[in-house]
Chain A
C-alpha cells in the first residue's frame, strides 16, 4: 500500500490466451504464484504485468470471482458461516465437469490452497456415487485390466457396486 494509503493497488495478470485482468491486490495475493512473484521482485513497478502462461481467461475469471468473495467473507468475519456455504454451493451448481477440471488445473497452477481444498471436495462429491467407467472418463484413466481380471477385482467387493448413479 502506498504512503498516502488511498490508492487500492491493482495487479495486472495476463493469461495464456492474451487477456489482461485487473485484480485487487488482496485477491491476487491469494494466488501463491503471484505472491511469490512480488516477493521475489520487490522492486517491480506498479504496472508490472504478471504472465500466467498456463491459465486461460475463462477459468481465471471464475477463480477471481471465488477468491474475491472469500476475501470479503474473511474481512467480514463470515468465514465458515452459512453464507459461505451458500455461495460455494451456488458457485459450483452450474459448472460442468470440464469447467471444474479447468478450474482445478488453474487453481493448482496458481497454488490457491483454499480453493483447491474446495474443488477437490467438490469433485469427490461429484464422483462418489459414479461408476468406474464414468470416473475413468473423467480423469482419462487407461484401463489395463483384461475383462476377466476386472471381473475378479469387482467380485471381491460386489457390494461396493450397489447404489451407483446412472452415468
Chain B
C-alpha cells in the first residue's frame, strides 16, 4: 500500500483508511484539509461507498422530530445527533446507500446526504394531473435498483372520484447517475414516467386498506397497510417484481400494543440487523422485536436524548399504558 503521494510517516495507508472509515462525516469534511491527496480521497466515490457501508448503514437510524432531523445508533436510541433543521414538517420516507429521501406536506421530495448535510430538492412535479378528483392519498418510496444501478423514487397516488370509486396507481422513476462524487454534489439527470409495474393489488385484503406505505426493510420492498379496525400489516416482496412472492411479515393489532398513537410505521432503516427495528408510533419511536412480537416502549427516542420535558411526556404516556 506504499503510495508516495500520501507522504505519511509510519502508519500504512490501509490502516489510515480503516480509521477514516470509522469517522463521522463532519470529521471527514474537516480532514479534507489534511493534504491534497486526502482531499481527493475523501471525495472519491469508492471511499464514500465504503464509508457508507462501514459507518452509516451499520450504525444509524434517521428520525425527524419537531422540524429537525436526527440520527441515532442503529436500532437503539443512543448517540442522538441533530443533523439539520428543516423548514417544514418533513418525513424521512426512505433511505438507502448514501441518501435519505425526505418529503414535505406538498409532497415535494428532497434527497439528503448525511455525509455533507446537503439537502437537494428533486424537481419532481407536484401531482396535479387528475384535476377533478375529490380526494387523493399519496405515498412515497425510495430505493436503489441493483439491477440497473440507479436510485428510484416511487410515488403512488390514489384518486377517488365523485361518481364511482376509481383508483389509479402511478409511479415515477428518478435516475441519478452513479459515477458522480456523491459526497459533494448530487447531480440530477432527469426523471421519466414509467408504466406501473409492481404496485398492483396483490391480495384481496389490499382493497380494504386505507393507509399504505412503501419501505425497504432488509433490502426488500415492503408495503405497510392499516385497516380501520386497527390492524397493521407489513407485507414483504420476497423476490423483486414477483407478484406471488408477497407475504405478510408482521401483523400488529394496535389495541394490543399501545393506545396513544394514530399512526404506526416501520422506520425506513438503512439496514435491519437482528430481530429489532424501529417503529414510528404516532409521535413516538419504539423498538419492535420481530421474534417476540413485542413493542418495547420502555425506552423511546427522546427519553434517550434526555430532554426533560419529553421525558415527562413519555412518563405520562407510560402511566396511561399501565393503567389500562
Residue B32, interface by CB 8 Å: yes
Residues of A within 8 A of B29 (CB): 157, 160
Q: If the complex has contacts A105-B11, A140-B10, A164-B30, are A120 and B35 also in contact, measured as CB distance less than 8 A?
A: no
Chain A residue numbers with a CB within 8 Å of B116 are 157
B27 within 8 A of A: yes
Per the bound structure, the CA–CA distance linking A105 and B7 in Å amounts to: 17
Q: Does residue A65 face the partner (Cβ distance < 8 Å to B)?
A: no
Please state if B35 and A135 are interface contacts (CB–CB under 8 Å).
no
Report how far A142 CA is from B22 CA in the complex, Å: 22
Interface stretch, picked from B13-21, B90-98, B123-131, is B13-21
Contact B30 A161 (CB under 8 A): yes
Interface residue? A2 (CB, 8 A): no
- Distance, CA A124 to CA B17, complexed state (A): 10
- Tell which of A123, A142, A159 touches B117, judged by Cβ atoms closer than 8 Å: A159
Given contacts A124-B23, A153-B39, A157-B29, contact A132 B9 (CB under 8 A): no
Instruction: Judge whether B27 and A129 touch: CB under 8 Å.
Output: yes
A135 in contact with B34 (CB, 8 Å)? yes
Which residues of A from 122 to 167 have beta carbons under 8 Å from B?
123-124, 127-129, 131-132, 135-136, 139-145, 149-150, 153-154, 156-157, 159-161, 164
A-B contacts, CB under 8 A, total = 84
Out of A108, A116, A142, A153, name the residue touching B33 (CB < 8 Å): A153
Q: Is B22 in contact with A120, judged by CB distance below 8 angstroms?
A: yes
Q: Check A101 for interface membership: any CB of B closer than 8 A.
A: yes
Q: Is the CB of A154 within 8 A of B33?
A: yes
Within residues 198 to 220 of chain B, which ones have a CB less than 8 A from any CB in chain A? none
Quick check: is A24 within 8 A (CB to CB) of the other chain? no
The interface bits of chain A over 37-67 (1 if a CB of B lies within 8 angstroms of the residue's CB, else 0) are: 0000000000000000000000000000000
CA–CA, A33 and B33, complex, Å = 36
A110 contacts partner chain B, Cβ-Cβ < 8 Å: no
Contact indicator B35/A160 (Cβ below 8 Å)? no
Contact present for A104 and B11 (CB under 8 Å): yes
Q: Which of A105, A141, A145, A150 contacts B8, CB < 8 Å?
A: A141
Give A102-122 interface residues, CB cut-off 8 Å to B. Answer: 104-105, 108, 116, 120-121
Establish whether residues A141 and B35, one from each chain, have CB atoms under 8 Å apart when the complex forms: yes
Which residue in chain B gives the minimum CB-CB distance to A126? B19
- In contact, A128 and B23 (Cβ under 8 angstroms): yes
CA distance A116 to B22 in the complex (A): 12
Given A135-B31, A141-B7, A143-B34, output 20 extra A-B contacts at Cβ < 8 Å.
A104-B11, A105-B15, A108-B15, A120-B19, A123-B19, A124-B22, A127-B27, A128-B24, A132-B31, A132-B33, A139-B9, A140-B11, A142-B7, A145-B33, A145-B36, A150-B33, A153-B33, A153-B39, A160-B27, A160-B29
Chain A contact residues, CB within 8 Å of chain B: 101, 104-105, 108, 116, 120-121, 123-124, 127-129, 131-132, 135-136, 139-145, 149-150, 153-154, 156-157, 159-161, 164
Could you write out 24 A-B pairs with CB less than 8 Å apart? A101-B10, A104-B15, A108-B12, A116-B18, A127-B27, A128-B24, A129-B27, A131-B30, A132-B31, A135-B34, A136-B34, A139-B11, A141-B7, A141-B34, A142-B35, A144-B35, A145-B35, A145-B36, A150-B33, A153-B39, A157-B116, A160-B26, A160-B27, A161-B30
